[in-house]
Each structure stands twice: as structure tokens, then as C-alpha cells.
Amino acid sequence: MLISRVTLAAIFSSGLLLGLTAASPSSANEGKPDPATESVADVEAAAKSGSVMHGSKVRRVRIHPSGTQFSLSLATNHDSCTSTNDPKRYNVTVGQGGVTQAGFEMIYAAALEALNNGRALYFYFESGTPNCYISEVFIDL
């Protein structure tokens, strides 16, 4: 799937969160969250649900042969990601964390956008597994 930069700009400027789970980590977290201003209540709600928010520049995107999973390696890692890989891998997989095929494709496009333009990618990931499954993604353009 090829998405133009203009299309990505429209998607992200609207504050769209990609690959949303059925139960968002925080009902108070509508629109495009800002990690710098996220409230303590938002952080606590995410922690209780097993989702952790993180943001970093993307160093590598690794697509798996199945075409239904890819992994991100980041410039900085979160301690709650227990991946044993070096560097740690944060995974996006169809069917994990509420990610659909359409959500997978949009998250992949966002990851490539962040990688190609040196921008930070912000996301929620599940801390209860060493796969660190990503469920929501956003990027500032």
C-alpha cells in the first residue's frame, strides 16, 4: 500500500490514532496525546491496563515474511519492554492489541514516515509480554 506524504499529513493532522484497541488505555486521552503534557491520571490508567506510552526515533523497521507483522528498533528503549533482543524490538502484529490489517498498514506507513524524516514515533505498547506489541501510534509532522 502506497500512501503519499500529503495523505499522511492529513491523517496525522486530524489527530487520528492508528490501530486503536477496543478499550483505549485512557478515556481522558482523546485526540493526539502529547507525552510531555500527559496527566498523571492518564499514565496511571495506561499502567493499570498494561499499556505503556513511549516515544523515540525509529532506527530500523523489520518486516516479517508473513506480511502480518513488523518490528521496530528504536533510538531509546523503555524499561517496561522486556524484549531480549538487542536492540529491543517493538512489534506490530495483525490480531494483537486490536490491530487490524488496515491499522497494520497505516502504522507501517507512520513508522516509515518517522524513519525517513527523523521524527519521533509515539505509541502505546503492551508491557505484559516480551513481544512489546504496539496498539496505537501517532507522529508529529
Confidence at residue 128, expressed as pLDDT on a 0 to 100 scale: 84
Chain segment 78-132, per-residue pLDDT in tens:
999 999 998 899 999 999 988 999 999 999 999 999 999 999 999 999 998 899 9
Structure confidence at residue 89 (pLDDT): 95
Question: What is the pTM for the complete model shown?
Answer: 0.66
Q: What is the pLDDT of residue 86?
A: 87
pLDDT of residue 133: 96
Buried b (16+ CB within 10 A) or exposed e, 18-48: bbbbeebbbeebeeebeeeebeeebbebbee
**From residue 55, how far is each of 1, 3, 7, 78, 95 by CA, in Å?**
25, 23, 22, 9, 23
pLDDT at 53: 94
pLDDT digits (tens, 9 = 90+) for 29-69: 444 455 445 444 454 454 446 789 999 999 999 999 998 99
